[in-house]
Structure 1
Amino acid sequence: MPLPDLAALRQAAETVHAVFPATPQVHWPLLSARAGAEVWVKHENHTPVGAFKVRGGIVHMANLKRDNPGLVGVITATRGNHGQSIALAAAAVGLKATVVVPHGNSVEKNAAMRALGAELVEHGHDFQAAYEHAVASATGRGLHMVRSFQDDLVAGVGTYALELFAAVADIDTVYVPIGLGSGICGTIAARDALGLATKVVGVVAAGAPAYALSFKAGRAVSTNSADTMADGMACRVPVDEAVAIIAKGADRVVTVDDGEIAAAMRHYFTDTHNVAEGAGAAPLAALLQERQRMAGKRVALILSGGNVDRAVYAPILAAPTLAEATP
């Protein structure tokens, strides 16, 4: 899949900004002191659905409705943020959205998708099982299947990187969480389109290492499970196109465990008073793991979302260690 060029990214940005303005990128002194680097955070937790995915949904639904005027509905699979994106964007163009989630999915993300007008279907034990059910259902119900990784989704989410690079010059490295790959591929696309030297670093969870294994192998490597509290990163079957883009355009992929992710969620709250879900906090966890390597450099972190259930977040906040109390 070819990456979107600068014209495509700018066109996508016009579509996105017709719905909501650019999100902020903030230099946080306490985070910088903690990491020993100049840290800028791209706040995708400040979008209308609390996560970056809405950008891709807006662009894809606008294109889909334009090219298929007779279409009445779409179906997709998600752990939450992609589903909220599609539900909001589909409603905006007059389409009905059906969203398939695995059993045991986030209660609050499920409630948000229903509130946005989606029909919610629970199926399977993880994202892959939900995805396969959505694909099978699409044909039988005459619905358009919206996959979580495709070209206009990448162009849409790549607009956050376009905003970031326009606002902050000379970023040495940007850390991006990897779920199915649209975010990091969009970041690579924006970096390349602008001709920048910024290194793009992917971040995966130790319990869902498919993209780290794939990056090392240079081809898609699936795993038998994706066991992590960071549901936005719980992927066990990578997308071939995404793997090819990441293998060519990323500097490295860093693996962080759930303990490091939970600590980063606490740091975001104490240092910035922002809520970060697991995937959103993972880039900070990776930076802190690489603190010595990144000392003194200008670094950006993609806080991809803040949609974490209260029942999950409360015990994480309540369990800091003494070593985490101050930067």
Structure 2
Amino acid sequence: MHEKLLTKLRGGETAVWLKSAKADFFDAEAARADVAAAEIRWQRFAPALARLFDTPGGLGRINSPLSEYPASLPAPAPVYVKADHSLPITACVKARGGIFGLLCVIEKIAQDAGLLKEQETYAILADEPARRILAEHTVVVASTGNLGYSIGVAAIGFGMQAEVHMSDDAKEWKKARLRELGATVVEHVGDYTSTVSSARTSVAERDKTHFIDDENSWDLFVGYAGAGEELAQQLKQANVDVSVEHPLVVYLPCGVGGAPGGITYGLKSIFGDAVVCVFVEPVNSACVFVALACDGALKSVYDVGLSNNTEADGLAVSRASELVLNKVGKQIDAVVAVPDKSMTDWVGKAWSNAALRLEPSATAGFAALEPFLQAIDADVTSNGTRPALKNIAQGTHVVWTTGGDLMPEDIFQQFL
């Protein structure tokens, strides 16, 4: 079966990998503790974020709205949109993990400098004495665009230096906006995976330089995980019941896996088997798909004959995160690989139907709806015994968006 799926990928076709019916152990209690600890850090930093950035209500929180999609979709109703394309500060999902990872770095610097005494409010990190200390430090990250922008915006906002290593996949406009911020952009000939390796090596012997590793960062992972509780509260406010009889199906665009992996970690800790987590990748960059179809082997898409060329630059990754596969690989319920045309077509559909301003990476979940549901219908034998999948027609579907609100108008018009 797996070789048949890989053949479809090589042919540029939509493909769906489904987890077997076997139940896998998940330590929900430990996950809830991890997410709770991350939430405490978000709360500590809220006063500083409120002073430095424009956040809803001036509360210093990075949350996004949940709204019902207003047009008909090829899925059982209702379908909701988790609008991370309009998150505060950076208008992309990377504002969750990327900024949280940066806050962990800032907290350590401030503690070492004696800035954060007992009962001291973190609002002082926005004051000039703290900014002078932070200005001596440089944050380094590798990115195809949105992670680098998120960390760059936040680091410069706190007064730090930002150095962003960009792969061949990165769009020119994303490099330009980083330079306009004052970040140093280092361009690489090579894909995202090789760029991460080069960036990691570049900081080895540099003083007061901090590398934020998207491939292997626990801090980024738990930064994303808090979105699970945020969604749970929004569903409760909307009077949406989540249970095995009425499952929650969440469609998560996937690059290296950090954002969808962290969100899955948070959701599974709350809903367990009642949530179905569907990762969505471009056909040519289906790195998590390849790893799971090859029984968890950390293979590159190049190893199975894929090009890693995609218009969805935020998802252009050749090898999945080992951290993500280890933490939630067995909790991923499905992976859908979709062609670029499906994603670019949805840029126009989402705009005309719902006024959602999305880049191709952010439309992946919409493109995955129909093929995922068709695969469930066709695979009753191996997956029909899983109650959540058996009851999927009674489920609530949530498409998670990732970026697009800050896309330049001329680029957006090209997609339209």
What is the TM-score with the length of structure 1 in the denominator?
A: 0.87
Contact 1:175 1:200 in 2 (8 A): yes
Q: What is the SS of the residue equivalent to 1:189?
A: helix
Task: Decide which of 37, 41, 60 is 1:8's aligned counterpart.
Answer: 37
Q: Which residue does 1:42 correspond to in 2?
A: 82
1:157 aligns with 2:224: yes
1:178 aligns with 2:245: no
Q: Quick one: distance in 2 between partners of 1:44 and 1:249? A: 22
Shift in CA distance, 13/42, structure 1 to aligned 2, threshold 3 Å? farther
Contact 1:12 1:156 in 2 (8 A): no
1:52 aligns with 2:130: no
Q: Which residue does 1:211 correspond to in 2?
A: 288
Contact 2:100 2:219 in 1 (8 A): yes
Q: Per-residue deviation at 1:308?
A: 4.5
Q: Which residue does 2:158 correspond to in 1?
A: 93
Q: Which residue does 1:220 correspond to in 2?
A: 298
Please list every run of 5 or more consecutive structure 2 residues that lacks an aligned counterpart in the other structure.
1-29, 50-54, 56-60, 114-135, 377-391
Q: Per-residue deviation at 1:178?
A: 0.9
Contact 2:144 2:169 in 1 (8 A): no
Shift in CA distance, 203/16, structure 1 to aligned 2, threshold 3 Å? farther
| 1:233-261 deviations in Å (ceiling 9; x for gaps) | 11112221112234211111111111111
Q: Per-residue deviation at 1:232?
A: 0.9
Q: Quick one: distance in 2 between partners of 1:83 and 1:260? A: 26
Q: Quick one: distance in 2 between partners of 1:160 and 1:15? A: 17
Q: Which residues of 2 match residues 310-321 of structure 1 at below 5 A? A: 310=409, 312-317=411-416
Contact 1:210 1:236 in 2 (8 A): yes
Q: Quick one: distance in 2 between partners of 1:138 and 1:279? A: 29
The count of residues paired between Structure 1 and Structure 2 equals: 315
What is the TM-score with the length of structure 2 in the denominator?
A: 0.70
Contact 1:101 1:123 in 2 (8 A): yes
Q: Which residue does 1:253 correspond to in 2?
A: 335
Task: Decide which of 199, 202, 205 is 2:276's aligned counterpart.
Answer: 199
Q: What is the SS of the residue equivalent to 1:156?
A: helix
Contact 1:219 1:240 in 2 (8 A): no
Code of the aligned partner of 2:162:
A
Q: Quick one: distance in 1 between partners of 2:336 and 2:161? A: 38
Contact 1:12 1:159 in 2 (8 A): no
Q: Per-residue deviation at 1:296?
A: 5.3
Q: Which residue does 1:320 correspond to in 2?
A: none
Shift in CA distance, 105/132, structure 1 to aligned 2, threshold 3 Å? same
| 1:47-68 deviations in Å (ceiling 9; x for gaps) | 2211011122322222212223
Code of the aligned partner of 2:342:
E
Contact 2:74 2:369 in 1 (8 A): no
Shift in CA distance, 221/74, structure 1 to aligned 2, threshold 3 Å? same
Q: Quick one: distance in 1 between partners of 2:342 and 2:256? A: 21
Q: Quick one: distance in 1 between partners of 2:149 and 2:398? A: 25
Shift in CA distance, 83/141, structure 1 to aligned 2, threshold 3 Å? same
Q: Quick one: distance in 1 between partners of 2:343 and 2:228? A: 22
Q: Which residue does 2:356 correspond to in 1?
A: 274
Q: Which residue does 2:400 correspond to in 1?
A: 302
1:120 aligns with 2:185: yes
Q: Quick one: distance in 2 between partners of 1:152 and 1:106? A: 26
Q: Which residues of 2 match residues 10-29 of structure 1 at below 5 A? A: 10-14=39-43, 18=47, 19=49, 20=55, 21=61, 22-29=63-70
Structure 1 range deviating more: 237-246 or 103-112: 103-112
Q: Per-residue deviation at 1:156?
A: 1.4
Contact 1:26 1:41 in 2 (8 A): yes
Name segments (4+ residues, structure 1) moved above 4 Å. Answer: 15-18, 291-296, 307-312
Q: Per-residue deviation at 1:309?
A: 5.5
Code of the aligned partner of 1:55:
R
Please tell me whether Structure 1 or Structure 2 has the larger radius of gyration of its CA atoms: 2
Please list every run of 5 or more consecutive structure 1 residues that lacks an aligned counterpart in the other structure.
318-327
Shift in CA distance, 36/279, structure 1 to aligned 2, threshold 3 Å? same
Structure 1 range deviating more: 77-86 or 151-160: 151-160
Contact 1:12 1:155 in 2 (8 A): no
